[in-house]
Structure 1
């Protein structure tokens, strides 16, 4: 049952990655240059409070170095790439057992 949930969520996350890729592709065609939307920009646009809470949690519980060297590069990565990696990892976790 849990494997099914991992696969189900993984497929939805991959679908979101595909939608983000298509949107970036349309923007790139319109601008005549490659345009990508970073994860941090999307997160800030949808829920700025949770992004601020996430930053304060990481800086308080871990350290400023973790925020600067790990979280900031991930937040600067293209949304479709981050969602694609997360979706693939979820699908790999939920794959059926080899018999």
Structure 2
């Protein structure tokens, strides 16, 4: 059951990353330059209030200043990269663990 959840979550994240990279590719073609939308810009475009609340939440934590530096850095990365890399890793964790049996040609 856990592998199914990991595969679904990983596939979902990779799917969103593909959509975001297609959007960036389309913008790049239109601008005649490489365009990469950051996670912060994408999050602001989708729901700016939740980003502001998330930053307020981090400010009230004990390690708030350290977390703010890390989050600010991650928010500058391309959105497709931030979602795609963990998505591939999570999908890899959920893969089926079959033992591969190799058959020689004379055994067929």
Partner of 1:72: 72
**Counterpart residue number, 1:95:** 95
* Cα-Cα RMSD: 1.4
TM-score, normalised relative to structure 1: 0.89
The within-5 A match list for 1:4-83 is: 4-61=4-61, 62-68=63-69, 70-83=70-83
Count residues in correspondence: 98
User: Whose helix proportion is higher, 1 or 2?
Assistant: 1
Gaps of 5+ in 1: none
Structure 2, unpaired ranges of 5+: 100-108
TM-score relative to the length of structure 2 = 0.82
Shift of 1:83: 1.0
Which ranges of 4 or more aligned residues in structure 1 deviate by more than 3 Å?
none
